[in-house]
Structure 1
Amino acid sequence: MQPSPAEIARTLAAGHLPAVAHIACRPGPIPVRHVTDAQGRVLLLVPSEGTLAAALRPQDGNDDTALVLDIKDVPPMATSPSLGRVWISGWAVRLDGDDARAAALDYADTDACGDLLDIGESQSLYRMEVAEVRYERHEKLVEIDPDDYAEATPDPLRAVEFDLIADLADHHTAEMSDYVRRQLGGNARPDDDPKVVRMDRYGFLVRMGGRSARLAFPRPVTDRHDLAHLLHPILCRRCCDSSAA
Structure 2
Amino acid sequence: MQPTHAEVARTLAAGHLPATAHIACRPGPHPVRHVTDAQGRVLLLSPSDGALTAALRPGPDVDDTALVLDISDVPPVTGAPSLGRIWVAGWATRLDGPEARQAALDYAETDPATDLLDVGDTQVIHRMDVAEVRYERNTVLVDVDPDEYAEALPDPLRAIEFDLIADLSDHHVVEMSDYVRRQLGPAARPGDDPRVVRLDRYGFMVRLGDRLARLAFPRPVTDRHDLAHLLHPVLCHRCGHQEEEAA
- TM-score over 0.5 (shorter chain): yes
Q: Over aligned residues, Cα RMSD in angstroms? A: 0.6
Residues 131-180 of structure 1 deviation map (CA, whole Å, 9 limit, x = unaligned): 00000000110100000000000000000000001111111111000000
* Match of residue 160 from structure 2: 160
* Match of residue 226 from structure 1: 226
Alignment of 1:36-55 (within 5 A): 36-55=36-55
CA–CA distance in 2 between the matches of 1:39 and 1:125? 16
CA–CA distance in 2 between the matches of 1:97 and 1:60? 22
Quick one: percent identity of the two aligned structures?
74
* Match of residue 67 from structure 2: 67
CA–CA distance in 2 between the matches of 1:154 and 1:182? 30
Structure 2 residue matching 1:62: 3-state secondary structure: coil
Structure 2 residue matching 1:166: 3-state secondary structure: helix
Structure 2 residue matching 1:100: 3-state secondary structure: helix
CA–CA distance in 2 between the matches of 1:96 and 1:60? 19
* Match of residue 4 from structure 1: 4
* Match of residue 88 from structure 2: 88
* Match of residue 194 from structure 2: 194
Q: Tell me the TM-score normalised to structure 1 length.
A: 0.99
Residues 166-202 of structure 1 deviation map (CA, whole Å, 9 limit, x = unaligned): 1111111110000000000111111110000111000
CA–CA distance in 2 between the matches of 1:244 and 1:12? 43
Equivalent residue pairs, number: 245
* Match of residue 214 from structure 1: 214
* Match of residue 77 from structure 1: 77
Matched, 1:58 2:62: no
Residues 33-76 of structure 1 deviation map (CA, whole Å, 9 limit, x = unaligned): 00000000000001100110110000031100000000010100
CA–CA distance in 2 between the matches of 1:233 and 1:154? 27
How far did 1:244 drift? 2.5
CA–CA distance in 1 between the matches of 2:242 and 2:98? 58
Matched, 1:99 2:99: yes
What amino acid sits opposite 2:191 in the alignment? D
CA–CA distance in 1 between the matches of 2:50 and 2:113? 19
